[in-house]
Amino acid sequence: MSSYAIMNEHWLIVSWVMVQSESERSLEAMYQEMAKRNNDAGVEKGGCHWVDRSCYNPNIVVKLDLFHCLQRFSRECTTEHHPLFSTFCQLLSAAFSVVDQEDLKKLKEAYEFCGIVPANPTKQHIWEHCRTRIPQPTELLDRVEKVMKHFYLSKDPNDTPLFKPSMLKTWRIQRVHILRGCLSDPELSEGIMYRYGGTLQLNHVPGEGAKVPIWIPVRGTSQQEGYHFHQAQWVTGNLVSTELFQAQGMTGVVS
């Protein structure tokens, strides 16, 4: 038995159920109940649903979460200690995400205003203050394929390859996801992938030039991962009855 949660774009839990398996058949009742609640409340149903697996469904726009996709590639590397591992992960991540150049320009200007030279924004600052997009299938495939070809036969000085032999199979599977559009951002109205979270003063420096926007992504399952961490704290052991587990889970959801 496992738990399954759905969060909305504001990271609020809108449904939490216990299921025997995470198959479409097991989750069908939950989907129907969600649709009924939306209809009763006169609320339009969600346009997209991001998941960590089983991203193909002809009846709903389901997107594969980028974090879990990247994780599938990193697991096919021989070791995290390989000298090329870090570079590969960085370039692969950059291939999937295109940073908004206007946002990046404003962030660099804020760096210069704060006297940070050279004005090379950190990955964390880019993630917080710059919007990104995941390209459409044709462009995305080209970007990712270039990275895979560059590293495919790479080895370290000890002749240890970066990739396991099974990487080729993983790439073929992920290539299908890319071509299906499972990872690309939906072509909706501008700004739909982010919520505006106000502004902050970079490095606490006063002045208009140090003010940068905060962008909160509504795509992906990153907040779900945080929810999973807290969920693990509710369960007191691995020998707990179904009723007690459900009670502990509901206590966590409510609190």
The secondary structure of 192-216 as a DSSP string is TTEEEEEEEEGGG--SGGGEEEEEE
Identify whether 212 is part of a domain: yes
**Same domain assignment for residues 146 and 172:** yes
**Which residues touch 181 (CB under 8 Å, ≥6 apart)?**
136, 137
**Same domain assignment for residues 141 and 176:** yes
Identify whether 81 is part of a domain: yes
**Same domain assignment for residues 145 and 126:** no
Domain count, the chain: 2
Identify whether 84 is part of a domain: yes
Among candidates 224, 251, 226, 225, which has minimal Cα distance to 236?
A: 251
**Same domain assignment for residues 177 and 208:** no
**Same domain assignment for residues 143 and 86:** yes
Give residue 123's domain range: 100-133+191-219
Identify whether 251 is part of a domain: no
Identify whether 235 is part of a domain: no
**Same domain assignment for residues 155 and 90:** yes
- What pLDDT, on a 0 to 100 scale, did the predictor assign at position 5? 73
**Tokens encoding 249:** 């889970």
- What pLDDT, on a 0 to 100 scale, did the predictor assign at position 235? 63
Identify whether 233 is part of a domain: no
**Same domain assignment for residues 172 and 142:** yes
Q: Which residue matches tokens 């399952």?
A: 221
| Residue-level pLDDT, tens digit, the chain, 255 residues | 566 777 777 777 777 777 766 666 777 777 788 778 888 888 777 767 777 766 666 666 778 888 889 999 999 999 999 999 999 999 999 999 999 999 999 999 999 999 998 999 999 999 999 999 999 999 999 999 999 999 999 999 999 999 999 999 999 999 999 999 989 988 765 556 888 889 999 999 999 999 999 998 887 665 665 666 666 666 666 666 767 766 766 666 666
User: What is the C-alpha separation between 184 and 97, in angstroms, rounded?
Assistant: 10
- What pLDDT, on a 0 to 100 scale, did the predictor assign at position 62? 73
**Which residues touch 236 (CB under 8 Å, ≥6 apart)?**
248
**Tokens encoding 60:** 């709903």
Q: Quick check: 129 and 103 in contact, CB under 8 A?
A: yes
**Same domain assignment for residues 198 and 88:** no
- What pLDDT, on a 0 to 100 scale, did the predictor assign at position 52? 72
- What pLDDT, on a 0 to 100 scale, did the predictor assign at position 31? 75
* Alpha-carbon radius of gyration of the chain: 21
User: What is the C-alpha separation between 147 and 65, in angstroms, rounded?
Assistant: 20
| CB neighbour class for 124 (10 Å; exposed up to 12, middle 13-18, buried from 19) | exposed
- What pLDDT, on a 0 to 100 scale, did the predictor assign at position 188? 66
Q: Quick check: 215 and 194 in contact, CB under 8 A?
A: yes
- What pLDDT, on a 0 to 100 scale, did the predictor assign at position 225? 59
**What H or E segment, with its residue span, contains residue 16?**
strand 13-19
User: What is the C-alpha separation between 168 and 163, in angstroms, rounded?
Assistant: 9
Amino acid of residue 7: M
**Same domain assignment for residues 111 and 180:** no
Identify whether 7 is part of a domain: no
User: What is the C-alpha separation between 109 and 97, in angstroms, rounded?
Assistant: 22
**Same domain assignment for residues 140 and 117:** no
Among candidates 42, 55, 52, 78, which has minimal Cα distance to 156?
A: 78
pTM (predicted TM-score): 0.73
Identify whether 45 is part of a domain: no
**Same domain assignment for residues 144 and 92:** yes
**Same domain assignment for residues 77 and 179:** yes
